[in-house]
Amino acid sequence: MEIENNPSKTPLSIPNKNILKLLCILTILWSSLSFISFFFIGIIYDYFKQNLNIFVVDEQQKEVIKLWLRGGKGFFLCFGLLNASTFIGAIQMWKLKKIGFHIYSVSKLLLLIIPFIFISNFPSSWGSMFSTLAFILLYRSFYKQMK
């Protein structure tokens, strides 16, 4: 009993739940916006493709979107649904459920792979890979606190 109540145990060894909440909030915001945009584009894919100039003004963004458009309607719908599952995973982790970590991790890894399946010659994004790995490792630090 004495060891458990020892105030000298460093609080840094126990991950702060506020950090978990911040991670979940960031994931919920990003994944919900990504779900809405990708899934919506998937639904109106043909119209969006024909009227790209109405939706996008910046030439650099236009080139990136043209690359994504090569993936077709299925790419956008699939990408949107995977973003919805990262949202579900974050909600479950907010509730401290381990299944949320698994849903989130698998969904994020699939989000890295899906573009290569749908789009030929898709360039690797080291930034996406790094941020995905960083978030998975940060969430993993809270895994023992989850049920």
d(CA 38, CA 15): 33
Do the domain assignments include residue 88? yes
Q: Do the beta carbons of residue 27 and residue 87 sit within 8 Å?
A: yes
* pLDDT confidence of residue 5: 52
Do the domain assignments include residue 2? no
Q: For residue 48, give its domain range.
A: 18-145
pTM: 0.84
d(CA 37, CA 46): 15
Tokens 């043209």 belong to which residue? Answer: 66
Do the domain assignments include residue 9? no
Do the domain assignments include residue 6? no
* pLDDT confidence of residue 15: 66
Residue type, 130: F
Do the domain assignments include residue 75? yes
Do the domain assignments include residue 8? no
Do the domain assignments include residue 44? yes
Per-residue pLDDT of the chain (147 residues; tens, 9 = 90+): 444 555 444 444 556 889 999 999 999 999 999 999 999 999 999 999 999 888 877 888 889 899 999 999 999 999 999 999 999 999 999 999 999 999 999 999 999 999 999 999 999 889 999 999 999 999 999 999 999
Q: Do the beta carbons of residue 108 and residue 136 sit within 8 Å?
A: yes
d(CA 121, CA 47): 25
Please state the domain count of the chain. 1
Do the domain assignments include residue 94? yes
